[in-house]
Structures are given as C-alpha cells and as structure tokens.
Chain A
Amino acid sequence: MDAEVNRAAAETPPEPPLDPVFEIEMQLLLDAIYLKYHYDFRAYAGASLRRRLRTALERFACRTLSQLQDRLLHQPELFPPLLDYLTVQVSDLFRDPAYFRALRERVVPHLRTYPSLKVWIAGCSSGEEVYSLAILLREEGLLERTLIYATDINPQALQRAEAGVYEMDRVPGFTENHRLSGAPGSLSDYYTAAYGRALFDRSLKKHIVFCDHSLATDSVFAEVQLVSCRNVLIYFNRELQDRALGLFREALCRRGFLGIGSRESLRFSAHAEAFEEVAREDRVFRKREGA
C-alpha cells in the first residue's frame, strides 16, 4: 500500500488545476486578515476553506474575494461575522460517545494517580466538549482537583461556552450520547432546564478557565496531563497540524495523554513517533517516555 501511495505521488500531476485567480485572491485575503486582524488562516486545509469562502461571498453579497477583502479592510465590523464562516462551530455533548468511554476506561485510572490535574481542551467551540469532560471527571470523582483550560480563537464561541446554555431540543441527543459514554448517572443532574434551554451547572464552571488561544500563532501556556483536541486538526494543513501537535507534545507532562477527533490521525505527522496508541479506534494516544 505504501508503494502505491508513493506511486500516486510520483505520477499524479503536481499542481491541480485550481482556478488561478481565485487562488491568488484567496491568498491575498488571508494575508490581509492576518495583517489586519492577526488571525492566521494561511495554513488551513484549502478545500474546506475554499468552500467556506465561497459561502461567505454569497452572505456578504460580494462577487469576488478581492471585493470581500476591500470591505473587510475598511469595515472592521464585518470581521466577526466572517470569522464565523471561517471557523466551523459544529459540536455536541459527548460527541462520539466511544471516545469518552475510552477516556473513562483507559485514561482516568492514570489520572487518578495525580494529586492535582490540568486538562487542555483546544478548539473548544461553544463548550460542548468542555462540559462533557467536566461531567465525566466529576462522575469519576476527579473534577474537584482539576483545572480545565478551554481555548478557542472564536470569541463568540468562547462566550457561548462560558455561558453553558444550550437549546433544550438538543438535550435528548446529549442525554443519549452521555449514556453511551458509560456514564454512571443521569445527565439531568448537571443542568437546569428553563425557558426551553438547558443551563449547565455553575459548580462545573468553577473548574474551567476559558481563553482565547490560537494553535496557529500562540505558544504553550501550562503543563497538562491530558489534551483533548477534536475536529480542529482536520481544518489545518499538515504543517499547521505539526505545529499544533508540537504544542501538545510540549504541553503534556511525562507520559501525558492526547485525544483527537474520530477521523483524525497522527499517521502523517512529524510527531507520530512521539506518541503511542492507547485506544486506536477512539484516537487516544499517550506521549512516549522521553518524547
């Protein structure tokens, strides 16, 4: 199979026939965003970025990316809504229950051996993953000694995460996921329902710090025992993935744990050798000794 992959690399045309003008405009737009707003999308995976920019063109009623760039540079109020197009805010409580079950069964026993714990949730979006992990740690009796850093680049998402309020119609799905994650109790113990919304418990929030942090431009800020970064790396190209994984490697304590999205892999990364598989199917890894 590897031979085939190499053959593919050798025989396929080097530059795919992308629309050259759109590519130029996209590059210029990303440069402009970086220079003016200091958000760095230049090393994001091209295909889905292209798609989101095309949607943004419609939304902002622009014919070309150059036009969008012009408006963006001169009307700063347009940047926050654009940021919502550039960052994908799709999430769920206990998304992929098997992942959380793997954390419970394979990681929690090791976490118990630490007197105090730090966990980093990178790309936390509107907080669903954060509350999932906080609830899991509470259920396992570990939350009281834990500090969770929840980071993202989208300020509106961080605000929603901090509020911890979700539409009630999402709760049945949340509840089912929670149950499938091997939870001992009921999800309803952790939220209050009011006015068609579920408000997650204050006592969970006490252990969470929400902050603005970019895997593309910022550096490591703490030593942690567990990093959970799910469905963020797929939006990066390989170089940026390597940067992010390098941050996780540096932030993790000796033999610390890393969990990634169910379709993400370390296979193509420069840091692949630094991690060993703990739960292969569920994408839970552990930093190797000395790595």
Chain B
Amino acid sequence: MNDVAFAQRRIDAVVIGASAGGIEALGLLLPALPAQLRAPVLIVQHIPRDRPSLLVDIFAPRCARPVREADDKEPVAPGTVYFAPPDYHLLVDRGPQLALSADELVHFSRPSIDVLFESAADAYGAHLLGIILSGANDDGAAGLAAVHRAGGMAVVQDPRGAQAETMPAAALQRTAAALVMSLEAIRDLLHALERDHAA
C-alpha cells in the first residue's frame, strides 16, 4: 500500500529528524541508501552545540552516497546526504539552496527539526518526504505537520520500536494521518522511492 502511494508521487527531497536514539536509527537507514539515489537527504540529528559534530565521520564511510555537513548558500546536490552543523539551524531556500541561520533555539535545540521541515515544506511542497525518528522531545511535530499540510508525505517511526518514543509519538499526535512504519519499512521505502522515481 505504501508502494502504491509512493508510485503516484514524485519525491524531490527527503528530510529526516532525529534525537535520542537517532544515530542508531540512522545507522540502519543511511548505509542502505541506494547508490543511484537522486533525492537529496537533509537531516537534523540533535547534537551538542559546543563541539564539532562527528556525524559525517560516522556515516560517510558507511554510505554509498556522499555525506556532508551543510554549508550556507550551497546548492542542494542530488543524492547527497546533508547533516545540519552544530549550533546552526538548517533550512532550504529557493534554488533549492541550503541556508543556515543562527536564530534562537527552537525546542531548546539548534539545529531544530521544525525549522528544517517547515522550510523544506515551503520549498518542495508535495514533493517532499518527511521522516521523524527516535527522540525524547517534541521537536519535529510542528515541522511534520507543515510537511503534511503542504501535501508532502509524512512518515513516523513506530514509537513502539523507537529507542525514545516521545518524539515520534508527539509527531503522530499532531499529524494523525502520518504513516507509521518500522525502521525496516522506512529503509525499504527509501529504496522504493528510487525505483519508482528512476523511471
């Protein structure tokens, strides 16, 4: 059923939000991204603000696609995985182009998932896939709602399988129409995205 829903839409970008337990979840998803992936994948994983992020070091060697920390004004390259840098919000601007901001913390976080998701919903509308993974706060709930409102596809990791269920549960509470999936199902979805879109 998900495959059918999927075949009907063109997905131009994927945004992922994660917090506590997110690195493990991403560890299942990112290395499984297909080498021919075309949609860019933009990720906010909550990390400490006061030290360099290790996310690129962790994931780049394990992924078939390039993994980078986002730079301000960088054109969004296809099939590339971008992580928000520590202490900056990551947004998508016209172009599409990556944008960073040093605005106030949102839900005690910078980067914040809401900020990324809301700007991506503006930029990609119905052609966006938003995914909320494990986490222990409710950042991302408003963002996923914005993705859904703009006609994009909203997916939430099944809270029962998540290391920390608060974040996926909050997202679901806010967007009841979001698809609830196991991590394995999300991984397969990202593959299906490639297959259906490649045609």
Contact = CB atoms under 8 A, between A and B. Distances in A.
Interface of A: 1, 4-5, 7-9, 11-13, 15-19, 45-48, 50-52, 88, 90, 231, 233-235, 238, 241, 261, 263-265, 267-268
Contacts of B119: 47-48, 50-51
A263 B77 CA distance: 18
A268 B73 contact: yes
A5 B100 CA distance: 18
Nearest to B38: A11
A167 B128 CA distance: 43
A234 B101 contact: yes
Contact of A88 (B73, B78, B103, B115): B103
Contacts of A267: 71, 73
Contact of B76 (A12, A47, A88, A238): A12
A17 B124 contact: yes
Contact of A263 (B12, B66, B85, B123): B85
Interface residues of B, number: 36
Given A47-B101, A51-B103, 17 more contacts: A1-B66, A5-B77, A8-B76, A11-B78, A12-B12, A12-B95, A15-B94, A16-B123, A17-B123, A47-B119, A48-B101, A51-B91, A52-B103, A90-B104, A231-B102, A234-B100, A234-B102
Interface string B88-119: 11011111100111111000000000010011
Contacts of A235: 101
Interface in B9-64: 12
Contacts of B78: 4, 7-8, 11-12
Nearest to B88: A263
A123 to B, nearest CB: 11
B75 A9 contact: yes
Contacts of B88: 263
Closest 9 CB pairs of A and B: A17-B125, A47-B91, A47-B93, A48-B101, A16-B123, A47-B119, A231-B102, A4-B77, A8-B77
Given A51-B103, A231-B102, A46 B94 contact: yes
Contacts of B125: 16-18
A48 B99 contact: yes
B101 A264 contact: no
A88 B102 contact: yes
